[in-house]
Structure 1
Amino acid sequence: MTSDTTQTDRVTAETGNLRELITNARFVLFDFDGPICRLFAGHTAEQVAKELVAWLEGQGLRGLLTEEERVHPDPMVVLYAVNRRHPHSDLVAELEERLTQQERKAVGSAMPTAYVDPLIRTWNAVGRRLAVATNNSPRTVGDYLTGRGLAGCFAPHVYGRTSDLDRLKPNPHCLNRALNAMGAAPSTALMIGDAPTDLRAAERAGVPFLGYARNEEKAEQLRDAGARHVVDSLLPVLRLVRDQA
Protein backbone atom coordinates (compact mmCIF):
# COMPACT_ATOMS: atom_id res chain seq x y z
CA MET A 1 0.00 0.00 0.00
CA THR A 2 1.46 3.37 -1.01
CA SER A 3 1.71 6.41 1.26
CA ASP A 4 -0.83 8.21 -0.95
CA THR A 5 -3.30 5.36 -0.50
CA THR A 6 -2.75 5.37 3.25
CA GLN A 7 -3.34 9.11 3.38
CA THR A 8 -6.53 8.76 1.32
CA ASP A 9 -7.83 5.98 3.55
CA ARG A 10 -7.14 8.05 6.67
CA VAL A 11 -8.94 11.11 5.29
CA THR A 12 -11.91 8.95 4.21
CA ALA A 13 -12.13 7.39 7.69
CA GLU A 14 -11.94 10.80 9.37
CA THR A 15 -14.68 12.16 7.09
CA GLY A 16 -16.87 9.17 7.93
CA ASN A 17 -16.32 9.65 11.66
CA LEU A 18 -17.14 13.34 11.37
CA ARG A 19 -20.28 12.60 9.35
CA GLU A 20 -21.49 10.19 12.05
CA LEU A 21 -20.78 12.76 14.76
CA ILE A 22 -22.74 15.47 12.89
CA THR A 23 -25.61 13.20 11.83
CA ASN A 24 -26.21 11.97 15.38
CA ALA A 25 -26.31 15.46 16.90
CA ARG A 26 -29.80 16.77 17.66
CA PHE A 27 -28.55 19.43 20.04
CA VAL A 28 -25.34 21.40 19.53
CA LEU A 29 -23.49 23.21 22.32
CA PHE A 30 -20.93 25.78 21.20
CA ASP A 31 -18.11 27.20 23.22
CA PHE A 32 -17.94 30.92 22.44
CA ASP A 33 -14.40 32.32 22.25
CA GLY A 34 -12.80 30.11 19.60
CA PRO A 35 -15.53 28.20 17.75
CA ILE A 36 -17.79 31.25 17.27
CA CYS A 37 -15.28 34.10 17.26
CA ARG A 38 -11.90 35.34 18.41
CA LEU A 39 -13.18 37.67 21.09
CA PHE A 40 -9.87 39.41 21.74
CA ALA A 41 -8.76 39.76 18.13
CA GLY A 42 -8.50 43.55 18.47
CA HIS A 43 -8.89 44.24 22.18
CA THR A 44 -6.15 41.98 23.49
CA ALA A 45 -6.61 39.65 26.43
CA GLU A 46 -3.15 40.65 27.67
CA GLN A 47 -4.24 44.28 27.98
CA VAL A 48 -7.38 43.21 29.86
CA ALA A 49 -5.26 41.18 32.27
CA LYS A 50 -3.00 44.20 32.87
CA GLU A 51 -6.02 46.39 33.60
CA LEU A 52 -7.37 43.90 36.14
CA VAL A 53 -3.97 43.75 37.85
CA ALA A 54 -3.74 47.54 37.88
CA TRP A 55 -7.18 47.78 39.48
CA LEU A 56 -6.16 45.34 42.22
CA GLU A 57 -2.99 47.29 42.86
CA GLY A 58 -5.04 50.48 43.06
CA GLN A 59 -7.06 48.82 45.83
CA GLY A 60 -3.85 48.07 47.72
CA LEU A 61 -4.12 44.36 46.89
CA ARG A 62 -0.91 43.81 44.94
CA GLY A 63 0.11 41.10 47.39
CA LEU A 64 -2.84 38.91 46.36
CA LEU A 65 -1.01 37.89 43.19
CA THR A 66 2.30 36.19 42.61
CA GLU A 67 4.72 37.80 40.19
CA GLU A 68 3.84 35.16 37.59
CA GLU A 69 0.13 35.92 37.97
CA ARG A 70 0.73 39.67 37.70
CA VAL A 71 2.32 39.32 34.26
CA HIS A 72 0.20 36.47 32.89
CA PRO A 73 -1.53 37.39 29.58
CA ASP A 74 -4.80 35.58 30.43
CA PRO A 75 -7.25 37.65 32.53
CA MET A 76 -8.92 34.45 33.74
CA VAL A 77 -5.66 33.57 35.53
CA VAL A 78 -6.01 36.78 37.54
CA LEU A 79 -9.64 36.05 38.32
CA TYR A 80 -8.94 32.44 39.35
CA ALA A 81 -6.03 33.54 41.54
CA VAL A 82 -8.16 36.00 43.50
CA ASN A 83 -10.96 33.45 43.80
CA ARG A 84 -8.59 30.88 45.30
CA ARG A 85 -7.61 33.33 48.03
CA HIS A 86 -11.01 34.94 48.58
CA PRO A 87 -13.61 32.47 47.24
CA HIS A 88 -17.16 33.71 46.69
CA SER A 89 -16.25 37.18 48.00
CA ASP A 90 -17.45 40.65 46.97
CA LEU A 91 -13.93 41.19 45.63
CA VAL A 92 -14.31 38.27 43.21
CA ALA A 93 -17.76 39.53 42.15
CA GLU A 94 -16.31 43.00 41.47
CA LEU A 95 -13.37 41.61 39.51
CA GLU A 96 -15.67 39.33 37.48
CA GLU A 97 -17.87 42.32 36.62
CA ARG A 98 -14.82 44.30 35.50
CA LEU A 99 -13.76 41.39 33.27
CA THR A 100 -17.27 41.25 31.83
CA GLN A 101 -17.15 44.95 30.95
CA GLN A 102 -13.80 44.44 29.21
CA GLU A 103 -15.19 41.46 27.28
CA ARG A 104 -18.16 43.54 26.14
CA LYS A 105 -15.79 46.24 24.90
CA ALA A 106 -13.95 43.58 22.91
CA VAL A 107 -17.11 42.51 21.06
CA GLY A 108 -16.82 45.40 18.59
CA SER A 109 -13.44 44.15 17.32
CA ALA A 110 -14.06 40.40 17.67
CA MET A 111 -13.31 38.33 14.57
CA PRO A 112 -15.94 35.77 13.49
CA THR A 113 -14.61 32.25 13.05
CA ALA A 114 -14.62 31.31 9.37
CA TYR A 115 -17.82 29.53 8.22
CA VAL A 116 -19.44 29.62 11.66
CA ASP A 117 -22.21 32.10 10.80
CA PRO A 118 -23.63 30.01 7.94
CA LEU A 119 -23.05 26.86 10.00
CA ILE A 120 -25.14 28.23 12.85
CA ARG A 121 -27.91 29.39 10.52
CA THR A 122 -27.95 26.11 8.59
CA TRP A 123 -27.99 23.96 11.71
CA ASN A 124 -30.85 26.05 13.03
CA ALA A 125 -32.70 25.81 9.70
CA VAL A 126 -32.55 22.01 9.67
CA GLY A 127 -34.16 21.87 13.09
CA ARG A 128 -31.22 21.37 15.45
CA ARG A 129 -31.40 23.06 18.85
CA LEU A 130 -28.40 25.27 19.60
CA ALA A 131 -26.89 26.58 22.82
CA VAL A 132 -23.75 28.38 23.96
CA ALA A 133 -21.89 26.92 26.95
CA THR A 134 -18.95 29.17 27.79
CA ASN A 135 -16.66 30.56 30.45
CA ASN A 136 -17.29 34.04 29.04
CA SER A 137 -20.04 36.26 30.37
CA PRO A 138 -23.49 35.51 28.90
CA ARG A 139 -23.90 39.26 28.41
CA THR A 140 -20.81 39.28 26.21
CA VAL A 141 -22.18 36.40 24.16
CA GLY A 142 -25.56 38.10 23.87
CA ASP A 143 -23.96 41.33 22.60
CA TYR A 144 -21.97 39.45 19.98
CA LEU A 145 -24.79 37.22 18.73
CA THR A 146 -27.17 40.17 18.49
CA GLY A 147 -24.63 42.14 16.49
CA ARG A 148 -24.22 39.25 14.04
CA GLY A 149 -27.96 38.63 13.73
CA LEU A 150 -27.55 35.18 15.31
CA ALA A 151 -29.28 35.62 18.67
CA GLY A 152 -32.51 34.04 17.42
CA CYS A 153 -30.67 30.83 16.52
CA PHE A 154 -29.76 30.29 20.19
CA ALA A 155 -32.42 32.10 22.21
CA PRO A 156 -32.72 31.68 25.08
CA HIS A 157 -29.97 29.11 25.49
CA VAL A 158 -26.81 31.01 26.44
CA TYR A 159 -25.08 29.70 29.56
CA GLY A 160 -21.95 31.43 30.75
CA ARG A 161 -19.84 32.70 33.61
CA THR A 162 -21.19 33.86 36.93
CA SER A 163 -19.27 34.97 40.02
CA ASP A 164 -19.32 31.32 41.16
CA LEU A 165 -16.08 30.46 39.40
CA ASP A 166 -16.01 26.89 40.71
CA ARG A 167 -18.69 26.10 38.13
CA LEU A 168 -16.66 27.13 35.10
CA LYS A 169 -15.42 24.51 32.66
CA PRO A 170 -13.96 21.91 33.07
CA ASN A 171 -16.88 21.68 35.48
CA PRO A 172 -19.82 20.57 33.27
CA HIS A 173 -22.28 22.93 35.00
CA CYS A 174 -23.02 25.15 31.97
CA LEU A 175 -23.37 22.11 29.70
CA ASN A 176 -25.76 20.45 32.11
CA ARG A 177 -27.81 23.63 32.35
CA ALA A 178 -28.11 23.70 28.56
CA LEU A 179 -29.04 20.02 28.32
CA ASN A 180 -31.64 20.29 31.07
CA ALA A 181 -33.20 23.43 29.61
CA MET A 182 -33.51 21.87 26.15
CA GLY A 183 -34.63 18.47 27.42
CA ALA A 184 -31.67 16.83 25.72
CA ALA A 185 -30.12 13.46 26.51
CA PRO A 186 -26.32 13.89 26.56
CA SER A 187 -25.81 11.23 23.88
CA THR A 188 -27.96 13.21 21.42
CA ALA A 189 -25.89 16.37 21.82
CA LEU A 190 -22.55 17.58 20.49
CA MET A 191 -20.11 19.99 22.13
CA ILE A 192 -17.84 22.09 19.90
CA GLY A 193 -14.89 23.55 21.78
CA ASP A 194 -11.31 24.63 21.28
CA ALA A 195 -9.69 23.85 24.63
CA PRO A 196 -8.99 20.83 26.84
CA THR A 197 -11.33 22.34 29.45
CA ASP A 198 -14.17 22.07 26.90
CA LEU A 199 -13.29 18.44 26.29
CA ARG A 200 -13.20 17.64 30.01
CA ALA A 201 -16.56 19.32 30.59
CA ALA A 202 -18.09 17.38 27.67
CA GLU A 203 -16.69 14.10 28.99
CA ARG A 204 -18.09 14.74 32.46
CA ALA A 205 -21.48 15.64 31.00
CA GLY A 206 -21.47 12.56 28.74
CA VAL A 207 -21.63 14.66 25.57
CA PRO A 208 -19.75 13.76 22.35
CA PHE A 209 -17.03 16.30 21.51
CA LEU A 210 -15.71 17.95 18.36
CA GLY A 211 -12.55 19.97 18.73
CA TYR A 212 -11.98 23.11 16.67
CA ALA A 213 -8.36 24.27 16.36
CA ARG A 214 -7.40 27.41 14.46
CA ASN A 215 -3.73 26.41 14.51
CA GLU A 216 -1.57 23.34 15.02
CA GLU A 217 -0.68 24.29 18.60
CA LYS A 218 -4.37 24.25 19.54
CA ALA A 219 -4.84 20.96 17.68
CA GLU A 220 -1.96 19.32 19.57
CA GLN A 221 -3.35 20.50 22.91
CA LEU A 222 -6.73 18.95 22.11
CA ARG A 223 -5.28 15.68 20.85
CA ASP A 224 -2.90 15.42 23.80
CA ALA A 225 -5.94 15.86 26.07
CA GLY A 226 -7.60 12.92 24.34
CA ALA A 227 -9.84 14.53 21.72
CA ARG A 228 -10.69 11.97 19.03
CA HIS A 229 -12.20 14.40 16.52
CA VAL A 230 -10.44 17.69 15.72
CA VAL A 231 -10.96 19.98 12.72
CA ASP A 232 -8.95 23.03 11.68
CA SER A 233 -11.88 24.49 9.74
CA LEU A 234 -15.64 24.46 10.17
CA LEU A 235 -16.14 24.18 6.40
CA PRO A 236 -16.37 20.35 6.35
CA VAL A 237 -18.88 20.56 9.22
CA LEU A 238 -20.95 23.09 7.26
CA ARG A 239 -20.92 20.85 4.18
CA LEU A 240 -22.12 17.86 6.18
CA VAL A 241 -24.92 19.87 7.80
CA ARG A 242 -25.99 21.15 4.39
CA ASP A 243 -26.21 17.54 3.25
CA GLN A 244 -28.88 17.03 5.94
CA ALA A 245 -31.08 19.84 4.57
Structure 2
Amino acid sequence: MEVSELIESAEALLLDFDGPVCSVFAGHPANIVADKIRNFLASQEVPVSPSVMGTSDPMLLLRWVGSHHPTLVVLVEDILCAEEATAVLSATPTPYGHEVIRLADQSGRQVAIVSNNSAAAIMKYLAMHKLNNHVSRVIGRAYAEPHRMKPNPDSVISATKATNTAPNACVFVGDTATDIHAGQAAGVRTIGYAKREDRGPTLAEAGADTIISNMSDLLPGLMRKNDRNT
Protein backbone atom coordinates (compact mmCIF):
# COMPACT_ATOMS: atom_id res chain seq x y z
CA MET A 1 0.00 0.00 0.00
CA GLU A 2 1.25 3.50 -0.83
CA VAL A 3 2.15 5.79 2.08
CA SER A 4 -0.53 8.38 1.26
CA GLU A 5 -3.21 5.71 0.94
CA LEU A 6 -2.21 4.14 4.24
CA ILE A 7 -2.22 7.47 6.09
CA GLU A 8 -5.37 8.78 4.45
CA SER A 9 -7.34 5.74 5.62
CA ALA A 10 -6.12 5.99 9.22
CA GLU A 11 -8.40 7.15 12.01
CA ALA A 12 -5.55 7.32 14.53
CA LEU A 13 -1.85 7.94 14.06
CA LEU A 14 0.47 6.25 16.54
CA LEU A 15 4.05 7.52 16.69
CA ASP A 16 7.15 6.20 18.34
CA PHE A 17 8.88 9.05 20.18
CA ASP A 18 12.64 8.68 19.83
CA GLY A 19 13.06 8.85 16.05
CA PRO A 20 9.78 9.97 14.46
CA VAL A 21 9.29 12.91 16.87
CA CYS A 22 12.78 13.76 18.10
CA SER A 23 16.26 12.50 18.85
CA VAL A 24 15.94 12.13 22.61
CA PHE A 25 19.62 11.79 23.47
CA ALA A 26 21.02 14.28 20.94
CA GLY A 27 22.33 16.65 23.61
CA HIS A 28 22.59 14.23 26.52
CA PRO A 29 24.14 11.15 24.91
CA ALA A 30 22.72 7.71 25.59
CA ASN A 31 26.18 6.32 26.37
CA ILE A 32 26.47 8.74 29.31
CA VAL A 33 23.14 7.48 30.64
CA ALA A 34 24.25 3.88 30.15
CA ASP A 35 27.46 4.61 32.06
CA LYS A 36 25.48 6.03 34.98
CA ILE A 37 23.46 2.84 35.16
CA ARG A 38 26.61 0.73 35.00
CA ASN A 39 28.20 2.85 37.74
CA PHE A 40 25.16 2.29 39.92
CA LEU A 41 25.33 -1.45 39.32
CA ALA A 42 29.02 -1.40 40.21
CA SER A 43 28.17 0.39 43.46
CA GLN A 44 25.83 -2.50 44.23
CA GLU A 45 28.62 -4.96 43.40
CA VAL A 46 26.59 -6.36 40.54
CA PRO A 47 28.77 -7.91 37.82
CA VAL A 48 27.52 -6.82 34.41
CA SER A 49 27.29 -9.45 31.70
CA PRO A 50 29.71 -9.05 28.76
CA SER A 51 26.65 -8.88 26.50
CA VAL A 52 25.76 -5.45 27.91
CA MET A 53 29.09 -4.28 29.32
CA GLY A 54 29.86 -2.06 26.34
CA THR A 55 26.37 -1.09 25.25
CA SER A 56 25.45 2.56 24.76
CA ASP A 57 21.76 1.67 25.02
CA PRO A 58 20.32 2.35 28.50
CA MET A 59 17.12 0.50 27.55
CA LEU A 60 19.12 -2.65 26.96
CA LEU A 61 20.63 -2.31 30.43
CA LEU A 62 17.18 -1.84 31.95
CA ARG A 63 15.98 -5.00 30.22
CA TRP A 64 19.05 -6.88 31.46
CA VAL A 65 18.53 -5.75 35.05
CA GLY A 66 14.87 -6.74 34.85
CA SER A 67 15.85 -10.23 33.73
CA HIS A 68 18.89 -10.83 35.94
CA HIS A 69 18.51 -8.56 39.01
CA PRO A 70 14.80 -7.79 39.38
CA THR A 71 15.23 -6.47 42.93
CA LEU A 72 17.19 -3.54 41.46
CA VAL A 73 14.89 -2.75 38.56
CA VAL A 74 12.99 0.03 40.37
CA LEU A 75 16.21 1.84 41.24
CA VAL A 76 17.54 1.54 37.69
CA GLU A 77 14.17 2.64 36.33
CA ASP A 78 14.34 5.76 38.50
CA ILE A 79 17.83 6.57 37.22
CA LEU A 80 16.69 6.20 33.63
CA CYS A 81 13.55 8.30 34.16
CA ALA A 82 15.61 11.12 35.66
CA GLU A 83 18.13 10.98 32.82
CA GLU A 84 15.39 11.02 30.19
CA ALA A 85 13.84 14.08 31.84
CA THR A 86 17.22 15.79 31.48
CA ALA A 87 17.73 14.52 27.92
CA VAL A 88 14.49 15.94 26.51
CA LEU A 89 15.66 19.44 27.44
CA SER A 90 18.22 19.21 24.64
CA ALA A 91 16.45 16.72 22.36
CA THR A 92 16.57 17.62 18.66
CA PRO A 93 13.22 17.71 16.85
CA THR A 94 12.97 15.36 13.88
CA PRO A 95 12.43 17.28 10.65
CA TYR A 96 8.68 17.48 9.99
CA GLY A 97 7.87 15.36 13.04
CA HIS A 98 6.10 18.22 14.80
CA GLU A 99 4.28 19.18 11.61
CA VAL A 100 2.97 15.62 11.29
CA ILE A 101 1.56 15.76 14.81
CA ARG A 102 -0.16 19.09 14.26
CA LEU A 103 -1.56 18.22 10.86
CA ALA A 104 -2.82 14.81 12.01
CA ASP A 105 -4.68 16.47 14.87
CA GLN A 106 -6.05 19.23 12.64
CA SER A 107 -7.31 16.61 10.18
CA GLY A 108 -9.49 15.07 12.89
CA ARG A 109 -7.30 12.07 13.57
CA GLN A 110 -6.24 11.11 17.05
CA VAL A 111 -2.51 11.14 17.74
CA ALA A 112 -0.88 8.90 20.32
CA ILE A 113 2.77 8.57 21.27
CA VAL A 114 3.76 4.95 21.87
CA SER A 115 7.27 4.69 23.25
CA ASN A 116 9.79 2.80 25.32
CA ASN A 117 10.75 6.14 26.84
CA SER A 118 9.11 7.29 30.06
CA ALA A 119 5.75 9.00 29.75
CA ALA A 120 6.86 11.86 32.01
CA ALA A 121 9.80 12.73 29.75
CA ILE A 122 7.60 12.54 26.65
CA MET A 123 4.96 14.82 28.15
CA LYS A 124 7.68 17.24 29.24
CA TYR A 125 8.97 17.43 25.67
CA LEU A 126 5.48 17.86 24.20
CA ALA A 127 4.72 20.71 26.61
CA MET A 128 8.04 22.42 25.86
CA HIS A 129 7.24 22.40 22.16
CA LYS A 130 3.53 23.23 22.55
CA LEU A 131 2.47 19.88 21.12
CA ASN A 132 0.64 18.52 24.15
CA ASN A 133 -2.74 19.81 22.98
CA HIS A 134 -2.29 17.98 19.68
CA VAL A 135 -1.62 14.56 21.23
CA SER A 136 -4.55 12.54 22.53
CA ARG A 137 -2.60 9.95 24.51
CA VAL A 138 0.94 9.23 25.66
CA ILE A 139 1.72 5.57 26.27
CA GLY A 140 5.21 5.36 27.70
CA ARG A 141 7.33 2.64 29.24
CA ALA A 142 5.54 0.61 31.89
CA TYR A 143 7.23 1.58 35.15
CA ALA A 144 9.79 -1.00 36.31
CA GLU A 145 8.38 -3.61 33.95
CA PRO A 146 10.93 -3.70 31.13
CA HIS A 147 9.52 -6.96 29.80
CA ARG A 148 6.52 -4.94 28.63
CA MET A 149 8.57 -2.67 26.40
CA LYS A 150 8.28 -3.07 22.64
CA PRO A 151 8.45 -5.51 20.86
CA ASN A 152 5.87 -6.56 23.45
CA PRO A 153 2.63 -5.19 21.92
CA ASP A 154 1.14 -4.04 25.24
CA SER A 155 1.82 -0.34 24.66
CA VAL A 156 0.43 -0.39 21.12
CA ILE A 157 -2.67 -2.25 22.26
CA SER A 158 -3.09 0.30 25.07
CA ALA A 159 -2.91 3.10 22.51
CA THR A 160 -5.66 1.61 20.35
CA LYS A 161 -7.87 1.22 23.40
CA ALA A 162 -7.06 4.70 24.71
CA THR A 163 -8.00 6.26 21.39
CA ASN A 164 -11.06 3.98 21.11
CA THR A 165 -9.91 3.01 17.63
CA ALA A 166 -9.98 -0.42 16.02
CA PRO A 167 -6.44 -1.72 15.51
CA ASN A 168 -6.86 -1.98 11.73
CA ALA A 169 -7.85 1.70 11.65
CA CYS A 170 -4.56 2.73 13.29
CA VAL A 171 -1.20 3.33 11.67
CA PHE A 172 1.96 3.09 13.77
CA VAL A 173 5.14 4.86 12.66
CA GLY A 174 8.37 3.54 14.16
CA ASP A 175 12.05 3.48 13.32
CA THR A 176 13.11 0.07 14.65
CA ALA A 177 12.28 -3.56 14.02
CA THR A 178 10.90 -3.77 17.57
CA ASP A 179 8.34 -1.07 16.69
CA ILE A 180 7.24 -2.98 13.60
CA HIS A 181 6.99 -6.27 15.49
CA ALA A 182 4.97 -4.65 18.27
CA GLY A 183 2.62 -3.06 15.76
CA GLN A 184 2.12 -6.31 13.89
CA ALA A 185 1.39 -8.22 17.10
CA ALA A 186 -1.19 -5.57 18.05
CA GLY A 187 -2.90 -5.81 14.66
CA VAL A 188 -2.12 -2.27 13.49
CA ARG A 189 -0.64 -1.24 10.16
CA THR A 190 2.97 -0.12 10.30
CA ILE A 191 5.20 2.43 8.61
CA GLY A 192 8.94 2.12 9.03
CA TYR A 193 10.77 5.43 9.33
CA ALA A 194 14.25 4.83 7.92
CA LYS A 195 16.00 7.88 9.30
CA ARG A 196 19.25 6.42 7.98
CA GLU A 197 19.65 4.60 4.69
CA ASP A 198 20.84 1.43 6.43
CA ARG A 199 17.59 1.20 8.42
CA GLY A 200 15.46 0.50 5.34
CA PRO A 201 16.37 -3.18 4.84
CA THR A 202 15.96 -3.91 8.55
CA LEU A 203 12.48 -2.37 8.62
CA ALA A 204 11.52 -4.16 5.41
CA GLU A 205 12.70 -7.48 6.82
CA ALA A 206 10.67 -6.83 9.98
CA GLY A 207 7.59 -6.61 7.78
CA ALA A 208 6.68 -2.90 7.72
CA ASP A 209 3.71 -2.23 5.44
CA THR A 210 5.66 0.59 3.86
CA ILE A 211 8.82 2.57 4.51
CA ILE A 212 9.57 6.30 4.45
CA SER A 213 12.86 8.15 4.63
CA ASN A 214 11.47 11.50 5.79
CA MET A 215 8.55 12.33 8.05
CA SER A 216 7.40 14.81 5.41
CA ASP A 217 6.32 11.76 3.37
CA LEU A 218 3.31 11.51 5.70
CA LEU A 219 2.04 15.03 5.10
CA PRO A 220 0.18 14.55 1.78
CA GLY A 221 -1.96 11.74 3.21
CA LEU A 222 -2.74 13.77 6.31
CA MET A 223 -3.93 16.68 4.21
CA ARG A 224 -6.80 14.52 2.97
CA LYS A 225 -9.40 13.40 5.48
CA ASN A 226 -11.10 10.08 5.00
CA ASP A 227 -14.89 9.84 5.18
CA ARG A 228 -14.80 8.68 8.80
CA ASN A 229 -12.92 11.84 9.84
CA THR A 230 -15.19 14.37 8.15
Which TM class, normalised by the smaller chain length? over 0.9
Aligned residue in 2 for 1:97: 78
SS of residue matched to 2:214? coil
Aligned AA for 2:63? Y
Question: How many pairs were matched up?
Answer: 225
Please tell me whether residue 163 in structure 1 is matched to residue 148 in structure 2. no
SS of residue matched to 1:40? coil
Q: Which runs of 5+ in 1 are unaligned?
A: 1-15
Aligned AA for 2:18? D
- Matched-pair contact (CA < 8 Å) for 1:193–1:199: yes
Higher relative contact order (CA 8 A, sep 6+): 2
* More helix as a share of residues: 1
Looking at structure 1, the residues matched to 153 and 104 of structure 2 have their Cα atoms a distance apart, in angstroms, of 23
- Matched-pair contact (CA < 8 Å) for 1:83–1:165: yes
Looking at structure 2, the residues matched to 133 and 243 of structure 1 have their Cα atoms a distance apart, in angstroms, of 24
Give the stretch that moved more between structures: 196-205 or 73-82: 73-82
Looking at structure 2, the residues matched to 105 and 24 of structure 1 have their Cα atoms a distance apart, in angstroms, of 37
- Matched-pair contact (CA < 8 Å) for 1:50–1:70: no
Please tell me whether residue 17 in structure 1 is matched to residue 14 in structure 2. no
TM-score, structure 2 as length reference: 0.94
Looking at structure 2, the residues matched to 235 and 78 of structure 1 have their Cα atoms a distance apart, in angstroms, of 33
- Matched-pair contact (CA < 8 Å) for 1:168–1:174: yes
**Structure 1 segment 21-170 matched on structure 2, within 5 A:** 21-61=6-46, 63=47, 65-87=48-70, 89=71, 91-155=72-136, 157-161=137-141, 162-170=143-151
Question: CA deviation digits over 1:137-161, x for unaligned, max 9?
Answer: 0001001100010011114x11111
Aligned AA for 2:59? M
- Matched-pair contact (CA < 8 Å) for 1:212–1:231: yes
Aligned residue in 2 for 1:216: 197
State the identity %: 35
**By how many angstroms is 1:57 displaced?**
0.6
Looking at structure 2, the residues matched to 109 and 17 of structure 1 have their Cα atoms a distance apart, in angstroms, of 34
Question: CA deviation digits over 1:122-150, x for unaligned, max 9?
Answer: 11011001111111000010011000100
